[in-house]
Amino acid sequence: MSKSRFRIAVLAGDGIGVEVMAAALEVVETLAEHVGGMGFDMLPVVGGARAYTETGQALSETAWEDAEAADAILFGAMGLPDVRYPDGTEIQPQLDLRARLDLYAGVRPVRSIPGLPSPLADVRAADIDFTIVREQTEGIFWSYGRGKREGNQVAEDTIRVSRPATERIVDFAQATALKRKGAGRPGKLTLVDKANVLGSMAFMRQIFEERSKRKPELRSEATYIDAAALGLVKKPWDYDVIVTENQFGDILSDIGAALIGGMGFAPSADIGDDHALFQPCHGSAPDIMGTGKANPTAMLLSAAMMLDWLGERHGHAKTSEAARVLEDAVRATYAATGLVPFELGGRAGTAEITKAVKQQITGR
Ligand code: ATP
């Protein structure tokens, strides 16, 4: 029998991470009751900048073990601008989690939500629906903690592109595009690189082209990062799945978030072969913490991604169904209620949006 009870490590973290996480836990509980056939053991795990101030550790060894032992990790946001390590860098255990749990694929869906204002005048903005798959173990971020400095004169960071990491991210992106094709999307995969300037990126493109031959059922194309930046603003509805280097993915996913209303609408998943972490794309937003203005949408959509991943991984149809119910409920909320989050100049805060999504789920 497939597994139906899941242990979730809940790392709420700092700032609005705590607020949107509370919303997600409430909604997942409602969902589990409404859809039925599944259960969750939510294990709170302490970590982040506040934890660092209180204990001297951003994530304790026990916290690591809890995260590693869980079926999935639900993550709010970590880091506060005035809490830093002695070398001046920010507390970002999410980067360590990615490295230590080998969460190599950053999955960032960008899908417009009906009923919300768009920054684009074109009516086709309602059709935006693409997913960015970001390589998360190398690229230019490989230099994190490894950069070279020659006194006060020169600083160097190195881009690393390896065959195994590139093959596995391209394969992951192809699987993503095929899954979407099965759900009616066009089955198109776009590599974004800078192969005209950098040897590392030309190598990435070579591997992409090799792997593309194995999947003739997908339309594979490659484009330069500058062209992609233009294309994502000019005709974002043309993209299906984008696969790209670490830093390019970081930047393009913020453009993606802007296209659908802002950081509060952009969910994400960090996926490896053995572990997965689900978190909104936004950070701890200390400017609005404690005001009740945080938009929980991105966190709720991230929770839906978690349910989808758990359902597929464990072959548990009810959990997959719960993922669809949650995503549909979030997507239906704005058009049905006319709520406009503070983030878009409206008056709807965390509590009101959470309540409205729960009503969509239960039909009450
Ligand atoms: P990080 O560096 O961790 O990404 P940051 O503070 O630079 O953190 P975010 O926390 O992502 O960036 O937020 C940038 C701004 O966007 C915030 O200051 C906040 O005003 C707004 N914002 C982010 N997330 C939300 C949200 N869920 N709801 C409303 N506004 C948000």
Instruction: Kindly list the distances between the CA atom of residue 57 and the CA atoms of 44, 51, 52, 61, in Å, as whole numbers in the listed order.
Output: 16, 6, 4, 9
Residue-by-residue DSSP string for 70-105: SSEEEEEE---TT-B-TTS-B--HHHHHHHHTT--E
Q: What is the pLDDT along the chain (364 residues), one digit of tens a residue?
A: 678 899 999 999 999 999 999 999 999 999 999 999 999 999 999 999 999 999 999 999 999 999 999 999 999 999 999 999 888 888 889 888 999 999 999 999 999 999 998 889 889 999 999 999 999 999 999 998 888 999 999 999 999 999 999 999 999 999 999 999 999 999 999 999 999 999 999 999 999 999 999 999 999 999 999 999 999 999 999 999 999 999 999 999 999 999 999 999 999 999 999 999 999 999 999 999 999 999 999 999 999 999 999 999 999 999 999 999 999 999 999 999 999 999 999 999 999 999 999 999 999 6
pTM of the model as a whole: 0.96
Nearest to 70 by CA among 51, 96, 102, 44: 44
Beta carbons of 15 and 48 less than 8 angstroms apart: no
DSSP class of residue 342? Answer: G
Beta carbons of 39 and 314 less than 8 angstroms apart: no
DSSP 3-state of 282: coil
Edge to edge, the sheet with strand 241-244 lists 39-44, 5-13, 72-77, 276-280, 267-271, 105-111, 129-135, 241-244, 188-193, 219-224
What structural domains does the chain harbor?
A: 1-104+267-364 (3.40.718.10), 119-259 (3.40.718.10)
Atom of ligand 1 nearest to the CA of 284: 10
Q: Hunting for tokens 């994530």 — which residue is that?
A: 59
Atom of ligand 1 nearest to the CA of 298: 27
Q: Which amino acid is at 189?
A: L
The residue contributing the CA closest to ligand 1 atom 21 is 285
State residue 208 phi and psi, 5-degree precision: -60, -45
| CB of 79 shorter than 6 A to ligand 1 | yes
Question: E strands along 19-153, which residues?
Answer: 39-44, 72-77, 105-111, 129-135, 148-150
Query: What stretch of H or E contains 186?
Result: none
Rounded to whole angstroms, the Cα distance separating 63 from 47 reads 7
State in Å: Cα 109 to ligand 1 middle: 18
